[in-house]
Amino acid sequence: MPTWIDTHCHLDAAEFAPDRDAVRAAASVAGVKHLMIPAVQRSHWQEVIALAHRHGDSYALGIHPLFTPGADESDIAALRELLMQQRDDPHLVAVGEIGLDFFVPGLDADRQIWFYEQQIKLAREFDLPVILHVRKSSDRLLKTLRANKVVGGIAHAFNGSAQQAQAFIDLGFKLGFGGAVTYDRALKLREMAASLPLDALVLETDAPDIPPHWLYTTAEQRIAGQLQGPNSPAELPRIAAEVAHLRGISVAELAQASTANARSALKGLPALA
């Protein structure tokens, strides 16, 4: 059985509260041998650290753009202090999830940019890659990255243009593909997953979010009580099979390449047997 790294899984999410250990065990049985767990807000940092240690996984520490309305500027100093404290922890592999979201209405763009740029400075200070939230914001993210080069990282759930994809790759980033690529109507995304250089791709679930098509329920089904998902890291092999099919390669080849790519992007990730 091929083995996999899920480069983006929110195991700390409330949806998994009743059975986090069971979710992690199911993923392992499915061949997902390592998770990268990114934090989204200060109140979750310690739980993310504990989960990664409990299961032998990796973590990133940061403030997600959707959580900037409730964040305080003092959180940046707290993040720096925790990164300093954890700097010798082999489970710490990145600053994240950070970035910009210009899709969700009502968010203060300037506030997002401030938190993003402050965290980019921390990534540079601690020589850590970054896990980027990219939603209708590629060009603005790239502007900061060109001015403040980091050691690379992952553009999570990438859904930009081919030109933007190449710009991230040129700056040392890998591009994350997950459940969204399984939808037939996602033509541009599927074309990108098929045509980008193989050494630019990593795989992720974003569990419990971004469910693959087989977990999706329509509005009518939800009204009838048939609820979606949640997505889980155990879904990664099936998502990967879709990507392999789009590229016309074997699942085993994709497993080997995506694992190598993840380890290149996040230097602290382990080799998989």
Give the Cα separation of 148 and 165 in Å (integer): 18
Asked whether 126 and 157 are in contact (CB, 8 A), the reply is no
CB 178 within 8 A of CB 10: no
Q: Are 140 and 100 in contact (CB under 8 A)?
A: yes
Q: What are the E-state strand segments in the chain? A: 4-6, 32-38, 58-61, 92-101, 130-135, 153-156, 173-177, 201-203
DSSP tally for the chain: helices H, then strands E:
10, 8
Whether 245 has a binding-site annotation, put simply, is no
- Rama region for 216: left / alpha / beta (φ>0; ψ in -120 to 50; rest): beta
Q: Rounded to whole angstroms, how far apart are CA atoms 251 and 31?
A: 12
Tokens encoding 206: 């974003």
Q: Is 213 annotated as a binding residue?
A: no
Ligand-binding annotation for 10, yes or no, is yes
Residue 97 annotated in ligand binding:
yes
Strand pairing of 92-101 and 153-156?
Answer: unpaired
Quote the DSSP letter at residue 207.
B
Position 81, amino acid: E
> Has 206 been labeled as part of a binding site?
yes
Detail the residues annotated as belonging to a binding site for a divalent metal cation.
8, 10, 97, 133, 156, 206
